[in-house]
Structure 1
Amino acid sequence: MTRGEALKDFFRKTILPVASAALLYCIFRSACVKNGELDYLWLWILCGLPFGVWRLRLWIIPGGGSLGTGIALFALNFILAGFIGGFVLVWRLLVAAWYIPVTAYRLLTADRYSFLPEE
């Protein structure tokens, strides 16, 4: 693996997830403050929503009920997607933490044998 590939991998798997998590936290933090306290459950759901909407494979579709039932199920879909996306976000942050030492190792060993002639 070359240094360029290692840095591209580091950017894609470390910098982008951490930056997106920080941006989502900054956006939704003020929306989740109630009575001066941060509601972590709603912060979890709102920050996970972009990661979970396209991972929610089964949407609950109302079957001929009233408009209120349809709106409630639509909201339930987004809450479930945010909950699933919260786990995906945590997983991406764990992978990002793992890729810091992996990238350091790759950068240190990338061109170790580049002086050898290719056969």
Structure 2
Amino acid sequence: MMKERLRKSIVRAVFIFLWGWLMHYFYIEEGQIDIFKMWLLIGFPFGIYKIHLWLIPKNLDIGGTVGVWTMNIIIGCIMGGFVVIGYILRLLYDVFTVMVERVW
């Protein structure tokens, strides 16, 4: 049971690191890391999946509709950044518990 959870955590972490490596071309500007862009780009696939409440643009023109959808995506990306941190912390916890199990 614990080994299966550890395997899932490792697969998620590998995907996070690969995704971060692919996106680093977009969040590095003039040799500096833009933390906000990094947070949004790395959190995108995890936050869009986890967001359950979408604001639906109703009775708006095209500018309002684009604004509401942009806000949905930005909120999802910010949530995804927290999900990524949670996945990394879960990986560290799983690795620690497996190590403790093997020692005891």
TM-score by length of 2: 0.88
Question: Pairwise mapping of residues 18-57 of structure 1 onto structure 2 (< 5 A)?
Answer: 18-57=13-52
C-alpha spacing 1:6/1:56, structure 2 compared with 1 (3 Å): closer
The 2-side partners of 1:107 and 1:21 are apart by 27
Where does structure 2 lack aligned partners over 5 or more consecutive residues?
Answer: none
Question: RMSD across aligned C-alpha pairs, in angstroms?
Answer: 1.5
Moved over 6 A (4+): none
The percentage of aligned residue pairs carrying the same residue is: 21
The 2-side partners of 1:24 and 1:43 are apart by 11
How many residue pairs get aligned? The number is 104
Q: Deviations over 1:29-56 (max 9, x none)?
A: 1111223321111111111111111221
SS at match of 2:63: helix
What's the counterpart of residue 114 of structure 1? none
**How far 1:108 moved relative to its partner?**
4.7
The 1-side partners of 2:78 and 2:23 are apart by 15
Residues 53 and 85 in structure 1, CA contact (< 8 A), matched pair in contact too: yes
Q: Structure 1: which amino acid aligns with 2:76?
A: A
Q: Deviations over 1:34-90 (max 9, x none)?
A: 233211111111111111112211111111111111112111111100100100110
The 1-side partners of 2:37 and 2:16 are apart by 15
The 2-side partners of 1:33 and 1:73 are apart by 27
Which of 51, 58, 65 is matched with 1:63 structurally? 58
TM-score by length of 1: 0.78
Larger radius of gyration: 1
Normalized per residue, the structure richer in helix is 2
SS at match of 2:98: helix
Where does structure 1 lack aligned partners over 5 or more consecutive residues?
Answer: 110-119
Q: Structure 1: which amino acid aligns with 2:5?
A: D
